[in-house]
Structure 1
Amino acid sequence: MIPLKFDKNKKEKKRINFKVIATGIVAITLIGIVGISIGRFSGTNPIGPGVVLDGITTIESGFNKGFTFLQANIKELINYKKNANEVSKLDKEKEDLKQQVIDLNEKLDEVESLENLKKSLNFIDEKYKENRISASVVAKNDGNWYDSFTIGAGSDDGVKKESIVVNGNGLVGIVYEVSKDYSKAISLLDTKSSVSFKLMKDSKFKGVITQNTNLENKENYKNKGYLQGYMFETSYDVLPGDVIITSGLGLYPEGIPIGEVDKVIDDKNKSMKFVVIKPYVNFKNIDDVTIIEPRNIG
């Protein structure tokens, strides 16, 4: 029994010694850390620069950089969703405004079209105003110029063959074919078209517009969208800038504006006086027209 008791006391002593040693190590470590800190902040370091201090400094520097980065960007990170919602809202408002502009332009175009059609009625004699039809151009020939085109109104609407076509700027052309729902017309640029005109300054000075002239530069004039013609008499006093209108001879009622004289060319060998005319109608863009019932000249 005694040996057993002796062994037990020995083990207890060893356990106590271990606790003492461990406590001492912890105490020494804490004292060292405190010493390092005191030395660093006081300007002296009892153990000098070493591995432990460098490690602490590196860790502290990395921590400070990370904190600075987060501090600089945390606001943007927090507001990211809010900013995204604002951008989406602005895009929606932009699309709404764009559609409003489109709608407004369409309304302005409609108003301008109606004004042009009203203006075209000023060219028509009272006896023709009751037999007029407003319609839109729905198709055209190939190329830049409206030599021929299709109107979205036909016999069901009262359109007849040889009806006169005008718009808010002046004379456009004449209908040559009529179907139930649409009509086909040629403009003054077409070689099959011709119209008698007179000078506004003197109704005695008359001539004919036709693209079938023998002018040297006739193709150049046509490429500009200009009209060509000649005067009935070489003695007629015609000058650039003179306004020409329909004379009332033939199918076209009197007084419809056509354009202004751009150039006068005398051909003394054939005793002809040619004129090049800049039309009032833009034959590159014809949208809405007024169709006038043809004159009964039979």
Structure 2
Amino acid sequence: MIPLRFDKNKKENKRINIKVVATGVVAITLIGIVGLSIGRFSGANPVVPGAVLDGITAIGGNLNKGFTFLQDNFKDILSFKENSEKVEKLKLENEKLKKEIIVLNNKVDESESLESLKKSINFVDEDYKDKAISASVVGKNDGNWYNTITIGAGSKDGVKKDSIVMNGNGLVGMVYEVSKNYSKAISLLDTKSSVSFKLLKNSNFKGVITQNSSLEDKENYKDKGYLYGYMFDTSYDVLPGDVVTTSGLGIYPEGIPIGEVDKVIDDKNKSMKYVIVKPYVEFKNIDDVTIIEPRNIG
């Protein structure tokens, strides 16, 4: 056997060929196995070539599996850096797509808002359309519901006290305070608000919506964001699902949608017919509004 010698001074500059070393180990192992087999089966016992070949084959197979395992894992290690770079690239692309989606959603919201404001103009007479002001809601009261709102338009924009506020779904409320750049309004949910209404199916069936009503258990309906009021006459035929609009009495122009009747309560003791109205306006979410001048009823 020829011993392998290494020059320590040149060891760092040479790379050991793993396969050569492994081949040498296999060769030495095979020679050893053959020698042992010959010694074991010499003399009275004949040599059994099959047993020797089986041993050699088993060892060779295991070594091949070992080389395959090392080769596969070595490839994985080499490709780890490349895969990491791909993951980072995908993360950056994902963040970019998220920002693009946000921009697109904002554009969609703006488009829908404009369409909503255009629709709100259709609720009023021609006399009011030229004087309509579009503005955004910039503040609200504490709590879930929009009882009071601050609008980003004021006297310099033509907003006046008692101006009517609406959006694409229907009547929101009225302006009660105006400054140069801003104005404040109360919604129909506020206890200081009231509006005369009529039923769309019959304009003779009128009533008043007011959150200051004497209706029992009204807090339960208020928590749901519902409106409530009463009919002027208990004989009026009112049913759930009836559409409610402004009647034209008072400062609100006629025909602005308010909501639909959700429940009718006949109070025989008070001789009152109460109505619970589910509003069209989502008083949890008001972004943009249209403001028109108050009616001159003086």
TM-score, normalised via structure 2 length: 0.80
Name the SS for the 2:204 alignment partner: strand
- Of residues 31, 34, 37, the one that matches 1:41 is 34
Mapping of 1:176-191 within 5 angstroms?
176-191=176-191
Q: Specify whether residues 241 and 65 from structure 1 end up closer, same or farther in structure 2 by C-alpha distance, changes over 3 A only.
A: closer
Larger Rg: 1
Report the more deviating stretch, 81-90 or 195-204.
81-90
Confirm whether residue 161 of structure 1 aligns to residue 154 of structure 2.
no
Identity across the alignment (%) = 71
Unaligned runs of 5+ in 1: 1-24, 27-33, 49-59
CA distance in 2, matches of 1:66, 1:152: 75
Unaligned runs of 5+ in 2: 3-26, 42-59
1:246 matched residue in structure 2 = 246
1:4 matched residue in structure 2 = none
Q: Specify whether residues 40 and 200 from structure 1 end up closer, same or farther in structure 2 by C-alpha distance, changes over 3 A only.
A: same
- Displacement of 1:66: 7.1
2:275 matched residue in structure 1 = 275
Confirm whether residue 258 of structure 1 aligns to residue 258 of structure 2.
yes
1:14 matched residue in structure 2 = none
Mapping of 1:180-259 within 5 angstroms?
180-259=180-259
Name the SS for the 1:120 alignment partner: helix
Confirm whether residue 123 of structure 1 aligns to residue 123 of structure 2.
yes
CA distance in 2, matches of 1:96, 1:42: 69
Name the SS for the 2:190 alignment partner: coil
2:70 matched residue in structure 1 = 70
Contact 1:35 1:46 in 2 (8 A): no
CA distance in 1, matches of 2:225, 2:208: 17
Contact 1:194 1:210 in 2 (8 A): yes
State the AA in 2 paired with 1:152.
G
Mapping of 1:34-113 within 5 angstroms?
38=31, 40-41=33-34, 44-46=37-39, 67=67, 69-113=69-113
Name the SS for the 1:44 alignment partner: helix
CA distance in 2, matches of 1:268, 1:36: 109
Q: Specify whether residues 39 and 140 from structure 1 end up closer, same or farther in structure 2 by C-alpha distance, changes over 3 A only.
A: closer
Contact 1:36 1:46 in 2 (8 A): no
In the TM superposition, what whole-angstrom CA distance separates every residue of 1:10-43 from its partner, at most 9, and x where no partner exists? xxxxxxxxxxxxxxx99xxxxxxx9996462366
CA distance in 2, matches of 1:270, 1:157: 46
State the AA in 1 paired with 2:135.
A
- Displacement of 1:45: 4.4
CA distance in 1, matches of 2:216, 2:292: 35
CA distance in 2, matches of 1:186, 1:291: 13
State the AA in 2 paired with 1:41.
V
Q: Specify whether residues 46 and 241 from structure 1 end up closer, same or farther in structure 2 by C-alpha distance, changes over 3 A only.
A: same
In the TM superposition, what whole-angstrom CA distance separates every residue of 1:36-61 from its partner, at most 9, and x where no partner exists? 9646236624499xxxxxxxxxxx9x
TM-score, normalised via structure 1 length: 0.80
CA distance in 2, matches of 1:176, 1:66: 85
In the TM superposition, what whole-angstrom CA distance separates every residue of 1:202-241 from its partner, at most 9, and x where no partner exists? 1111111101111111000101111011111111111111
Name the SS for the 2:93 alignment partner: helix
State the AA in 2 paired with 1:284.
K
Q: Specify whether residues 293 and 37 from structure 1 end up closer, same or farther in structure 2 by C-alpha distance, changes over 3 A only.
A: closer
In the TM superposition, what whole-angstrom CA distance separates every residue of 1:50-89 from its partner, at most 9, and x where no partner exists? xxxxxxxxxx9x9988755532311112212211211111
- Displacement of 1:140: 0.6
Q: Specify whether residues 87 and 208 from structure 1 end up closer, same or farther in structure 2 by C-alpha distance, changes over 3 A only.
A: same
Contact 1:166 1:172 in 2 (8 A): yes
Equivalent residues, number: 257
Report the more deviating stretch, 159-168 or 83-92.
83-92
